[in-house]
Amino acid sequence: MAQAQVRWTDGRDTGRTVTVLVKPDTSEGSTVRVWVDRGGTAVGPPLTRTRAVADGWFVGGMAVTSVATGAFVARAGMRHVLDRRRFAQWDAEWDLVEPLWTGRFHR
């Protein structure tokens, strides 16, 4: 690709000039397709339908994966917190019951 100055007239009959990449075999005075934003800055071509659909599926898949991962992490964290609490309760109850049990097995 080679750089070239491109000139055109916008919708307000204002002459515009930008530097864009063109094929090396493009001759001076040839017509080339140029995409510009609202400010007149040269930009790349718009997405094709296939690329837009692929990008949509990718972003949707990433969103689903992120939500599922977040739910899994939240569940695992909550289970860890609840298990610690449950084990602490069991330890407290065992501290009350254990002396009664150990006395039963003395001969």
User: Which residues contact residue 23 at a Cβ distance below 8 angstroms, ignoring those fewer than 6 apart?
Assistant: 1, 2
pLDDT at 105 over 70: no
Better-scored residue on pLDDT, 2 or 83: 83
Express each pLDDT in 10-67 by its tens digit: 777 778 888 888 888 888 888 888 888 887 788 888 999 999 999 999 999 999 999 9
Q: What Rg, from alpha-carbon coordinates, does the chain have?
A: 35
Provide the residue ranges of all domains of the chain, joining segments of one domain with +: 2-43, 47-107
d(CA 67, CA 64): 5
Residue 44 near residue 51 (C-beta atoms within 8 A): no
Q: pTM of the prediction?
A: 0.56
Q: How far is Cα of residue 20 from the mean position of the Cα atoms in its chain?
A: 31
